[in-house]
Amino acid sequence: MSWYLTLPLAIPFLTAIVAYLLRANPVGAWVSIIGSGLGLLASIALMVVVLDAGVVAGQMGNWPAPFGITLVADLLSAVMVLITAITGFAVAIYALGDITERQAQLGYHALFQLLIAGVTGAFMTGDLFNLYVWFEVMLIASFGLLILNGGKEQIDGGVKYVALNLISTILFLTGIGLLYGMTGTLNFADLALKVEGVENQGLLTVVAMMFMVAFGVKAAVFPLFFWLPAAYHTPSFSVSAVFAGLLTKVGVYALIRMFTLVFDHDIGFTHTVLLWVACFTMVIGVLGAAAQSDFRKILSFHIISQIGYMILGLALMTPLALVGAVFYLVHHIIVKANLFLIAGIAKRLTGGTEVYRIGGLYKSAPLLAILFLIPAFSLAGFPPLSGFWAKYIIVKATLDIEMWFVAFIALAVGLMTIYSMTKIWAEAFWKPHPDGIKPELKNLEHKWAQLIPVAGLAALTIFIGLNPEPFVQFAERTTAQLLDPTAYITTVLGAVR
Amino acid sequence: MEQLLSILIGILVASAVYLMLARNLLRFLFGLILLSNAANLTIFVAGRLTPGAPPLVPDGLDAPIGVVANALPQALVLTAIVIGFGLFAFALILAFRAYQSLGTLNTDDMRVAEPKEPHS
C-alpha cells in the first residue's frame, strides 16, 4: 500500500480522534488546523505523484482487484482531493473566529475532520460499495455538523436535509444491488469492462437512471435540490462554507465518474436526460436566487444554478465540455466556500444576513467589500477571474456542437447571476446600515483568522483567472483520462501489490 | 425463491412509499426503515440464492467445491444494515428533538428555516 494514497485519508481520521479527545481544550482548534495543514501537504504529494504517473492505485488488505477494496487516484480524483484539502485548511483557520466554545466542546472539530475524510474517501475509492460507505461517513458527519448546538432553525433544516439524503442513499444502495446482480462486480474498473457484456442493456439503463437520481439528490440538481436551500443557511458559517464547497461536488464527481467510466453504453438517452436536467438546474437555481433576500439563501440557490453548468459539461460529453466541467468544479469549490465565509464576516459586522436589514459594509469595511467582489465577479463570470474561463469553455463547447439554445441559457443564467449578486452588493455593501451601525473590521474578534482564509481563497481565484493556461492543460489531461479510461482500468486491475 | 423475495421487496417498497407520503415525520421515518430493508433484500437477492450450500473451504483446498452460496452480498448487506441502523438511530433522535423544539411532527408546519413571508 502506497503512503501517498493512504495519507490524505489517514490524516483527517487521526486528527478527528485527537480533536475529539481535546474537544474541551482550546488547543482542539489548533489540532484541527495542523491536521488540515498536514492533509494539504499529503494531497499535494499525491498530486505530484499522479501528475507524474497518470493513475495510481493500491489494494487495501493486499486483496487483488476486483476482489479487494481499491484506492485509486487519477487526475480528477487527485485534483478533487487537493481542492478538498485547500478548502478544509481555509475553513479550519476560519473556525477560530467562527466556532463557539460550546460548539467545540460538542465535537465540532472532530466532526469537521471526519467530513473531510469522508469527502476525500469518496474521491479516491475505486469501488462502488466503498463509495457508499464514504458517502455515509460524509453524511453522518454532516448531520452532526448541521444540528450541532442546534436551535429551532437548525433542527428544522436538519430534518429536511436528513430525510432527503437518506432516500438518496437507499436508492444508491438499491442501484448497487441491482448492478451487482447484473455484472457480479463492484469495482469501477471491472464494471467498465463488464457492463458491455450485460445481456439486457435496457435494464442497465434503468439502473443507470437510479444512480443518476441518487447522485442527483447529492449534487442538488433540478428537481431534486429542495433539501439544499432548506438547510444550507442554518448552521455555522464554517459549516455552510464547507458544505457549499464540497458536499454537492461529491455528487457531481460521482456523476462524472459513473457516467464516463461505467454508464457510457447509451449516451443518447442518459446524457440527453442530463442535458435537460442541466438546463433546468441552471435556470431554476438562478430564479430561486433572484427571489431570495437572505445572504446565504441567495448563495445557496447559486450553488444549484452553478451545478447546472457542471452537469451541462458532463451531458455534452465532448472533450471540450468535459474540460469545462472539470475546470468549473475546481473553480466553483474555491469561490463558493469563500462567499459563505464572507457572509459570516458580514453577519458578525452587521448583525444579520437578511440583506434588506444590513448595510454599510462598503463604506466602513472596504477591504471586505473588495474581498467579496472577487469571488462574486468570479461566480458571475467576469474576466479575468476563474469563473470567466470556466463559463467560457462550457459555452464554447455548446457553440462548437451548435446547441445555440443551450448556449443562450448558459449565458442568460450568467447575467441573472450578476443580478442577484448586485442585490447583495447594493443592499449589504452599498447602502448605509438601516440602524446606523458602522460595521468596521477593527471591531471584529479574531479578525485575521477570518480574513486570511478569505484573502487566500480570493488570491487563488485571481491566480487561476490570470494564469489559466496550466489549469486548462491540466483539465485537458484529466478529460483525456475520462474519455479513454484504459489507463485507469489497467492500473487498477493490474496493480498487484 | 427469488421470485417470492422479489414480490416481498415490491410490497415493502409500496408500503414504504405509502408511509413516506404522510405528513407525519414519524411515519415518514418508518417508511424509510422499510425502504432500507427492501434495499438490503435487493442486494441479497441480486447475489442469487443458493440454499443449503455454505461457502466453506474444505481442509487442504483453496476454494470451495461445487456450487456454493455467494457470500459477498451477505457481507454487503451486513455493512448496510449496520450503517442503516446508525443513521436511523440518529434520525429518530432528530425527530424527537424536532418534536421537542418545534412542537410538531407535521412536516407542513415545519417552516422555521423557510418562513412563508421572509420579510415579516
| Tens-level pLDDT at each residue, chain B (120 residues) | 888 999 999 999 999 999 999 889 999 999 999 999 999 999 999 888 887 788 888 888 888 887 888 888 888 999 999 999 999 999 999 999 888 888 888 888 888 777 776 554
Over A124-189, what HEC string results? HECEHHHHHHHHHHHHHHHHHHHHCCCCHHHHHHHHHHHHHHHHHHHHHHHHHHHHHHHHCCCEHH
Least CB-CB distance to A162: which of B20, B40, B94? B94
Q: Domain for residue A270, yes or no?
A: no
Phi and psi at residue A488, to the nearest 5°: -60, -50
Across the interface, of A139, A153, A356, the residue whose CB is closest to B112 is A153
Residue in the block written with cell 459586522: A349
Name which of A186, A76, A171 is nearest A128 in CA terms: A186
DSSP strands (E only) in A21-69? 56-59
Q: Does the beta-carbon distance from A177 to B42 stay under 8 Å? A: yes
Measured over the CA atoms of residue A438, residue A443, residue A445 and residue A449, the dihedral's sign is positive
Would you say how long chain B is, in residues?
A: 120
Inter-chain residue contact A170 with B32, CB threshold 8 Å? yes
pLDDT tens sequence across A404-424: 998 999 899 988 888 888 888
Interface test with B, best of A63, A138, A166 (most B CBs within 10 A): A166
Q: Are A390 and A331 in contact (CB under 8 A)?
A: yes
As a whole number of angstroms, the distance between CA A74 and CA A423 comes to 40
Q: Is the dihedral of CA A415, A313, A9, A83 positive or negative?
A: negative
pLDDT, residue A195, reads 86
- Cβ–Cβ gap B39/A163 under 8 Å: no
Task: State whether residue A212 is helix, strand or coil.
Answer: helix
CA-based nearest residue to A216, from A208, A224, A207: A224
Q: Mutation target for B interface from A69, A152, A169, A174: give the one with most B CBs within 10 A.
A: A174
List residues bridging with A187 in a β-sheet: A127
> B35 and A293: CB-CB below 8 Å?
no
Contact B38, B9 (CB under 8 A): yes
Rounded Cα distance, A291 and A285, in Å: 10
Residue of A nearest to B101 (CA): A152
Between chains, do B46 and A178 touch, taking CB under 8 Å as contact? yes
A14 within some domain:
no
User: C-alpha angle A26/A30/A32, rounded to 5°?
Assistant: 115
Q: Which three cell numbers stand for residue A282?
A: 441552471
Residue A294, helix vs strand vs coil:
strand
Q: Do A160 and B110 touch (CB under 8 A)?
A: yes
Contact A180, B43 (CB under 8 A): yes
Output the pLDDT for position A335: 92
Closest chain A CA to residue B6: A178
Closest residue of B to A178, CA-based? B46
Nearest alpha-carbon partner for A201 in A257, A267, A253, A261:
A267
Q: Is B120 exposed, middle or buried (0-12, 13-18, 19+ CB in 10 A)?
A: exposed
DSSP H helix total and E strand total for chain B:
3, 0
Instruction: State how far the alpha carbon of B46 is from the alpha carbons of A178, A204, A488, in Å.
Output: 6, 14, 27
Residue from A114, A127, A173 whose CB has the most chain B CBs within 10 Å, to mutate: A173
CATH class of B2-52+68-109: mainly alpha
Q: Which residue of A140, A180, A293 is in closest CB contact with B86?
A: A140
**Which pLDDT value is given to residue B21?**
92
CB-based contact B94 A147, cutoff 8 Å: yes
A234/B113 CB distance under 8 A: yes
Helix (H, G, I), strand (E, B) or coil at A395: helix
Per the CB < 8 A criterion, the answer to whether A231 and A163 are in contact is no
Helices (H), A360-428: 361-364, 366-380, 386-400, 404-424
d(CA B55, CA B64): 6
Q: Which three cell numbers stand for residue A285?
A: 437555481
**Which residues, 6+ apart, have CB-to-CB distance to B60 below 8 Å?**
none
In chain A, % of residues over pLDDT 70: 99
Identify the pLDDT of residue A61: 77
**CB spacing of B47 vs A181 below 8 angstroms:** yes
**What is the nearest CA distance from A230 to chain B, expressed in angstroms?**
6
Give kind and range of the element (H or E) at residue A317.
Answer: none
- With beta carbons under 8 A apart, name residues in chain A contacting B87: 136, 139-140, 166, 169
DSSP state of A365: -
Per-residue confidence (pLDDT) for residue A419, from 0 to 100: 87
DSSP, residue by residue, B61-90: -SS--SS----HHHHHHHHHHHHHHHHHHH
**Is there a domain that residue A176 lies in?**
no
| Chain A interface, Cβ < 8 Å to B | 129, 132-133, 136, 139-140, 143, 147, 150-160, 162-163, 166-167, 169-171, 173-174, 176-178, 180-182, 229-231, 233-234, 292-294, 354, 356
Question: Within 13 A of A218's CA, how many CA atoms are on the CB side?
Answer: 30
- Please judge whether A162 and B73 are an interchain contact, meaning their C-beta atoms are less than 8 angstroms apart: no
Task: Indicate the SS3 state at residue A445.
Answer: coil
A contacts of B20 (beta carbons < 8 Å) = 167
Phi-psi region of B75 (alpha: psi -120 to 50; beta: other; left: phi over 0): alpha
Q: Which residue in chain A has the smallest CA separation from B49?
A: A181
- Per-residue pLDDT of A33-67, as tens digits, reads 999 999 999 999 999 998 888 888 888 877 777 78
Quote the CA–CA distance of B113 and B120 in Å, as a whole number: 14
Residue A274: CB partners within 8 Å, gap ≥ 6? A212, A255, A259, A311, A314, A315
Task: Return d(Cα A220, Cα A224) in angstroms, integer.
Answer: 6
- Torsion on CA atoms A386, A391, A393, A396, rounded to nearest 10: -150
Measured CB to CB, residues of chain B less than 8 Å from chain A are 20, 25, 28-29, 32, 35-36, 38-40, 42-48, 72-73, 76, 79-80, 83, 86-87, 90-91, 94-95, 97-98, 101-102, 107, 110-114, 118-119
Domain-located, residue A402: yes
Identify the bridge partners of residue B106 per DSSP, sorted by sequence position: B24
Contacts of B80 in chain A (CB under 8 A): 132, 173
Answer whether residue A347 is part of any domain: yes
Q: Is the dihedral of CA A417, A423, A429, A435 positive or negative?
A: negative
| N-to-C CA span, chain A | 7
Q: Give me the domain span that covers residue A446.
A: 276-288+298-466
Contact A129 B76 (CB under 8 A): yes
Residue B102 has its nearest CB partner, among A156, A170, A293, at A156
Q: Indicate the residue of B72, B83, B98 with minimum beta-carbon distance to A159.
A: B98
Is B97–A155 a contact, with Cβ atoms under 8 angstroms apart?
yes
**Mean pLDDT in each 10-residue stretch from start to end of chain A (497 residues)?**
85 92 87 92 92 85 79 91 93 88 86 94 91 92 87 86 91 92 88 85 90 92 88 88 91 92 85 91 90 87 91 90 91 92 87 81 85 89 86 90 89 88 86 78 80 91 89 90 87 66
Question: How many domains are contained in chain A?
Answer: 1
Closest chain B residue by Cα to residue A292 = B118
